Chains A and B, each alone.
Chain A
């Protein structure tokens, strides 16, 4: 890279406005030696960079992988990738892609096809939801790498005090935990900020109530029909209204993201929280360093996502990251090989331990070191199998942003919200609305 920018600086001093002459400097790789693959990663605690090193070593000179970090926010990650790919950027060899943006990238032809035999091996032993999120139009277009799911975290002593039996935790409904939190004068941690986490919540509620946000995800944009204005949508709105009515939203719900929820739970401000498993490792570390009261950490308990209907199992949120190969990469063969290496169960296990992001490969949950780091490994695996992905559509950004605009702030959700939201998203999809 050093020489690349030096070339550029030279070019600048020669004459800034001579744009054309600089085009050649766009690509840092090239020349002789093994191809350098650039892997665009979402920010993490360094786990993906470590995997890149391991796979470079394992490739034994066939290729080297360099990482380049994308922005924190899921929507901003998409922005960066789509903008570059729309320009036919050949420097994107590998990318860490949120499953919700897979259809858009695949539909636009931004992802290199994966050979059939590789599709086969990449899906073996992988959680069903994660495979769905990596597939578009019947083809596996990305490799599942990690698969996140939200659990219901709760304070065991407080649940008992409220008369809830932890042995039946899996059957708890939103209404039950709302009542319990109200009875203990505590709160439920949900993510109420206007961000992707809002869509995550709305989708999980609608799916848990037996509905779905998009009824025909692969239809052309003007024929998409939505399931927000439905009994399931109304059930979702009911849950939010109940939270507001019982005053158990807790402080700062309108700007609370996953991190703020985790903090609040650690500080004892919440009795329940729906959140990703990273909260456990964080609280453990906090308890060791003295920033989290060990008594609170001891009290941490977990179960699967709360139900909407008492008799139907919930549909927990599904998250995660897939790895895709850029369609304009000049080293697609090497990139496919690198992708296979990156998502190996071994690397998934290491990543789960180092970065707290759960593996998509189910076998990982049987490994002793994973079970030691994650006492809730079985619950995570179960939740992954129950989980429902967010709508798979090439217009995901529009759908998700439209949902965030109409369901946030939570305190403003009313009986009319599902109808307003459906109308709004449809108008956005038809290009009749600003976002």
Chain B
């Protein structure tokens, strides 16, 4: 990278500041909303006049807690399982794609691509009808299966890109040095592959966590409803009052895990996202 003049440097720093503002102002806004009291919500200013935790009280122990807590549980379980299954399945698939030569490899990659761009809304009605008939409607497995359509393609992709980078020769080298093939696999390949698998898991989790269409179409009660879908059942202090405060508080809570993941694993996630789609 060429040397930058001081003026240039200052300009880039201003750019950096703008990026941070760009990313964080809408988040700050929803946090601010969640800290407003009901009367304050319509004050139409960015900040609350008085900070209050009553909205959080409402979703954790108040009237909305019957809706929010089961929904949070459903979201966590569904997304973790959908991620786990997608990662395990695509780990095998990606290994095959990266290391083996077999007819149909392109077919698998192309269909993963096709599924990734498939309009989700097209899947909803047929799945809804089928789920009703076989008893999967409004169940967690009934949500996990369609989530695989969201998480599998990107997992296969990201992970095969990672696996292609692994110097597999090292495995053989280890075997030559006297390690058994299992030892070679565990000591050499697993540590090399783990970051890729882990990164893929985070990206898959983000995608499952983001779902809304399946949530509102394939569930209807606290048995399986995830948080984004449950927000539409929140209620204000009376039937006709908009639950802005409760929704904001719930929105903040479901944002915390993804922000934490982004904070801790930013380098990995960026590598994963860029590896998967654009390989130089």
| Complex: A in contact with B (CB within 8 Å) | yes
Encode B120-150 as 1/0 by CB contact (under 8 A) with A: 0000000010001111111111001100100
- Is A356 at the interface (CB under 8 A from chain B)? yes
Task: Flag the segment in B185-193, B194-202, B234-242, B250-258 that touches A.
Answer: B234-242
Which positions 79-117 of chain B face chain A at CB distance < 8 Å? 81, 85
A434 proximity list for chain B (CB < 8 A):
none
Would you call A87 and B137 a contact (CB within 8 A)? yes
Report the minimal beta-carbon distance from B202 to chain A, rounded to whole angstroms: 21
- Is A234 at the interface (CB under 8 A from chain B)? no
Task: Say yes or no: A44-B233 contact (C-beta < 8 A), given A22-B139, A68-B221.
Answer: no
User: In the complex, what distance in Å separates the CA atom of A257 from the CA atom of B244?
Assistant: 14
Task: Flag the segment in A6-14, A102-110, A164-172, A363-371 that touches B.
Answer: A6-14
Would you call B240 and A257 a contact (CB within 8 A)? yes
B139 proximity list for chain A (CB < 8 A):
8, 22, 25-26
Task: Say yes or no: A356-B239 contact (C-beta < 8 A), given A86-B132, A87-B132.
Answer: yes
Report the minimal beta-carbon distance from A319 to chain B, rounded to whole angstroms: 10
- Is B33 at the interface (CB under 8 A from chain A)? no
Would you call A44 and B141 a contact (CB within 8 A)? no
- Is B39 at the interface (CB under 8 A from chain A)? yes
Partner of A278, one of B234, B235, B239: B239
User: In the complex, what distance in Å separates the CA atom of A43 from the CA atom of B58?
Assistant: 14
- Is A295 at the interface (CB under 8 A from chain B)? no
- Is A231 at the interface (CB under 8 A from chain B)? no
What size tier do the contact residues of chain A reach? 35 or more
A46 proximity list for chain B (CB < 8 A):
63
Would you call B232 and A71 a contact (CB within 8 A)? yes
Which positions 4-59 of chain A face chain B at CB distance < 8 Å? 4-5, 8-9, 11-13, 16-17, 19-20, 22-26, 28, 42-46, 49
Would you call A19 and B136 a contact (CB within 8 A)? yes
Would you call B238 and A291 a contact (CB within 8 A)? no
Would you call B134 and A23 a contact (CB within 8 A)? yes
User: In the complex, what distance in Å separates the CA atom of A83 from the CA atom of B39?
Assistant: 37
Report the minimal beta-carbon distance from B45 to chain A, rounded to whole angstroms: 15
Would you call B67 and A69 a contact (CB within 8 A)? yes
What size tier do the contact residues of chain B reach? 35 or more
- Is B165 at the interface (CB under 8 A from chain A)? no
Number of residue pairs spanning A and B whose beta carbons lie under 8 angstroms apart: 119
Report the minimal beta-carbon distance from A322 to chain B, rounded to whole angstroms: 15
Partner of B233, one of A70, A83, A86, A291: A70
Chain A residue nearest in CB terms to B137 = A87
Task: Say yes or no: A23-B39 contact (C-beta < 8 A), given A11-B141, A43-B235.
Answer: no
Which positions 40-55 of chain B face chain A at CB distance < 8 Å? 42
User: In the complex, what distance in Å separates the CA atom of A16 from the CA atom of B136?
Assistant: 11
Task: Say yes or no: A9-B240 contact (C-beta < 8 A), given A45-B63, A86-B132.
Answer: no
Chain B residue nearest in CB terms to A262 = B240
Task: Say yes or no: A12-B140 contact (C-beta < 8 A), given A20-B134, A73-B232.
Answer: yes
Task: Say yes or no: A44-B39 contact (C-beta < 8 A), given A22-B135, A68-B221, A69-B66.
Answer: no
User: In the complex, what distance in Å separates the CA atom of A87 from the CA atom of B133?
Assistant: 7
Would you call A44 and B235 a contact (CB within 8 A)? yes
Partner of A356, one of B42, B81, B238: B238
Task: Say yes or no: A4-B140 contact (C-beta < 8 A), given A16-B145, A281-B238.
Answer: no
B135 proximity list for chain A (CB < 8 A):
19, 22-26
User: In the complex, what distance in Å separates the CA atom of A356 from the CA atom of B238?
Assistant: 8
B242 proximity list for chain A (CB < 8 A):
257, 259-260
Which positions 53-82 of chain B face chain A at CB distance < 8 Å? 63, 66-67, 70, 73, 77, 81
Would you call B39 and A286 a contact (CB within 8 A)? yes
Would you call B232 and A45 a contact (CB within 8 A)? no
Chain B residue nearest in CB terms to A291 = B39
User: In the complex, what distance in Å separates the CA atom of A76 from the CA atom of B229?
Assistant: 12
- Is A357 at the interface (CB under 8 A from chain B)? yes
Task: Say yes or no: A8-B236 contact (C-beta < 8 A), given A16-B85, A46-B63.
Answer: no
User: In the complex, what distance in Å separates the CA atom of A409 from the CA atom of B151?
Assistant: 41
- Is B220 at the interface (CB under 8 A from chain A)? yes
Would you call B240 and A278 a contact (CB within 8 A)? yes
Partner of B222, one of A26, A68, A73: A68
B39 proximity list for chain A (CB < 8 A):
286, 289-291
Q: List 9 A-B contacts (CB under 8 A).
A: A1-B222, A5-B73, A5-B223, A19-B136, A42-B239, A83-B128, A84-B220, A257-B240, A262-B241
List 8 A-B pairs, minimum CB-CB distance, nearest first. Answer: A23-B135, A291-B39, A43-B235, A87-B132, A258-B240, A80-B220, A26-B135, A71-B232
- Residues of B at under 8 Å CB distance from A? 39, 42, 63, 66-67, 70, 73, 77, 81, 85, 128, 132-141, 144-145, 148, 220-223, 232-243
- Residues of A at under 8 Å CB distance from B? 1, 4-5, 8-9, 11-13, 16-17, 19-20, 22-26, 28, 42-46, 49, 68-73, 76, 80, 83-84, 86-87, 257-260, 262-263, 267, 276, 278, 281-282, 286, 289-291, 355-357
